[in-house]
Structure 1
Amino acid sequence: MPERGTGDSMFLKSLAALAVGIAVGFSAPVMAQESFKVGVTTTGVPFTFVDTTTQQPTGAMVDLAKAIATEVGLKPTFELTAFSALVPSLSTHKIDVISAGMLATDERRKVVDFSEPVYTYGDAMFVAADAKDVTLDDLKGQVVGAQVGTTFADSLKALNIFSEVKLYESIADIMRDVKLGRIKAGFGDQPIIAYQIAKNPGLGVRLVKGYKPLKEGQVALAIAKDNPALLTKVNAAILKLKASGELDKIFAAYGL
């Protein structure tokens, strides 16, 4: 066999470089698809919040998103978003999925798709720590607070018994005004309220004993309606995590 000359070597090197260039060209979009943006809030303890030590998003729904990502081979990045901006951010593709303490409601289903449910809970009422327990009837004509964009706010307004259902960006803001006596009572996600009060006795508020939730719902991840492929992958991962018991472990780690 004749030896390859210099010209042959240069030709082979050119082919190798071309092959690498083609491989990179084809691999770039695939790598982009391996990442997906997860919308979370900083005010949904213990579902989603920021760890003050690491300054990183954490919580049950953050851990769940990480577990789902592992199952489907995606790399999650977490986008801190106000609760009221989560759905708009998903609809405009600023994020790919919402993983927060969000209830899957018929109204929200009009604009987003929801995954298999992962948790169930209702609302809670809280008052100032030194206040007496009250009922909804006791609050007729009074100002109460709820978080903007929540189903609880809509349910309270529908009762048509309060002088005002004041809307707040965060539960922490509602707690502050309840403690200071600016409003008579606040309403919010039961597990979030219970967790925050248990961890921070100095908040100056407490849960009302015997209160029956106006509404209970199921927490699920939200995905844009034009992304059915991702929804299928997420659902498959959730069912696998349920079957293995990992889903229960994730929520139990946060007292849920």
Structure 2
Amino acid sequence: MFLKQFAVCAVAVGLALATPVQAQETVRVGVTATGVPFTFVDTATQLPTGAMVDLARAIVEDNGLKPAFELTAFSALVPSLSTHKIDLISAGMLATDERRKVVDFSDPVYTYGEGMFVAANAKDFTIEDLKGATVGAQIGTTFADSLKALSVFGEVKLYDSIADIMRDVKLGRIKAGFGDQPIVAYQITKNPDLGIRLVKGYKPLKEGGVALAVAKDNPKLLQQVNASIAKLKANGQLAKIFAAYGL
């Protein structure tokens, strides 16, 4: 009887000791479906992909953890992080002072600004040329507020996605659209029939650094993310990830 009880206890202890090794913590990563080439859904696999998806996977796995990607509207990323529906944001999101009030950002991983796009058969415009006109921008982006602050346009119409802005520009419903320059450029390259083009020589109102974000009460994860970013920069893997998507 004693030997039997000892054997049962030994098995229980063995399982208890093995559990932490076998269990792999999951990090819920918020990404968008409309941020090509940073984050989007692969039509063949129906899975999230893109530069920031690959980067998040590399960072999470570098820490011995498992990523679980959660498709989230861009405007809902910060609220989802603040309410702990996700643990990490990895998208084409610029680290701004306003966002820093509610989330903590990692070290920057990429820098860009917005681009202006018009219908393929339209002439190039300057900001001044668009005085009183209706233009489009994506809700939740930093430059949407910057465009409104100019007090030049008749209306800065806000859209859920860049694809929606492109559609209305092509159809002539709005005069011009503004979106993340690398995202717009990538989509035009991949689909020449979009019916839009970037305005050459347009100077962004604001450039910023793309960074991952964590909740303010999760300093441990932020430290892990930054350590992995430093490692990926040093070994060249970070540059390879972005280069694979034309960035």
| Normalised TM-score (structure 2) | 0.96
Deviation at 1:17, TM superposition (A): 4.3
Q: Does 1:133 align with 2:124?
A: yes
Deviation at 1:157, TM superposition (A): 0.3
What is the one-letter code of the residue matched to 1:27?
P
Residues 1-256 of structure 1 aligned to structure 2 (within 5 Å) = 7-20=1-14, 22-23=16-17, 27=20, 31=23, 34-256=25-247
Give unmatched runs, 5+ long, in structure 2.
none
Query: Secondary structure of the equivalent of 2:111?
Result: strand
Deviation at 1:49, TM superposition (A): 0.3
Deviation at 1:202, TM superposition (A): 0.8
Q: Summarize deviations over 1:31-59 as a string: whole Å, max 9, x none.
A: 36x21000000000000000000111100
Q: Residue in 2 aligned with 1:4?
A: none
Give unmatched runs, 5+ long, in structure 1.
1-6
Whole-angstrom CA distance in 1 between matches of 2:12 and 2:244: 51
Deviation at 1:12, TM superposition (A): 2.0
Query: Radius of gyration: which is bigger?
Result: 1
Query: Secondary structure of the equivalent of 1:141?
Result: coil
Query: Secondary structure of the equivalent of 2:23?
Result: helix
Q: Supply the RMSD in Å over aligned alpha carbons.
A: 1.5
What is the one-letter code of the residue matched to 1:186?
G
Query: Secondary structure of the equivalent of 1:10?
Result: helix
What is the one-letter code of the residue matched to 1:49?
F
The alpha-carbon distance between structure 1 residues 13 and 201, as it changes in their structure 2 partners (threshold 3 A), is same
Query: Secondary structure of the equivalent of 1:206?
Result: strand
Whole-angstrom CA distance in 2 between matches of 1:11 and 1:212: 76
What is the one-letter code of the residue matched to 1:104?
A
Whole-angstrom CA distance in 1 between matches of 2:115 and 2:96: 18
Contact 2:61/2:67 (<8 A) preserved: no
| Normalised TM-score (structure 1) | 0.93
Runs of 4+ in structure 1 off by over 3 angstroms are 20-24
What is the one-letter code of the residue matched to 1:100?
A
Deviation at 1:13, TM superposition (A): 2.8
What is the one-letter code of the residue matched to 1:150?
T
What is the one-letter code of the residue matched to 1:8?
F
Whole-angstrom CA distance in 1 between matches of 2:16 and 2:112: 52
Counting aligned pairs with the same residue, the percent is 74
Whole-angstrom CA distance in 1 between matches of 2:194 and 2:65: 39
Deviation at 1:20, TM superposition (A): 4.6
